[in-house]
Amino acid sequence: MAMNVSLSPKTQKLLKQQMKKSGASNPDDLLRTALQTLDQVRGEDYEDLDPATQAAIERGEGQYRRGEYRPWEQVREELRARFIKK
């Protein structure tokens, strides 16, 4: 099934940048990867999770709302230092 899609100039630029970063050879490959990643990120429905996992998610969301979090860049660097020792 062929599908024609119209993209804004801003989206076209982003698409080209992401293709270059990811090494995708064409927009179809990049979109397929993005959609697969989206499915993985979504994972299970909240209602299907066990009560302990739901409670952990709710605790984390509460911490976030109260401002009890650290910037991703800081956490990423700590993880890199701990697990990717170069």
Phi/psi of residue 43, nearest 5 degrees? 55, -140
Q: Report pLDDT digits (tens) over 26-69.
A: 999 999 898 888 877 776 678 888 899 999 999 999 999 999 99
User: Which pLDDT score is estimated for 8?
Assistant: 93
Averaged pLDDT for residues 58-84 = 92
What span, in angstroms and rounded, lies between the C-alpha atoms of 77 and 81?
6
What span, in angstroms and rounded, lies between the C-alpha atoms of 84 and 81?
6
User: Which pLDDT score is estimated for 37?
Assistant: 85
Q: Where are the domains of the chain?
A: 51-86
What pTM was estimated for this model as a whole? 0.45
Q: 59, 44 in Cβ contact below 8 A?
A: no
User: Which pLDDT score is estimated for 86?
Assistant: 60
∠ CA 81-83-86, nearest 5°, is 60
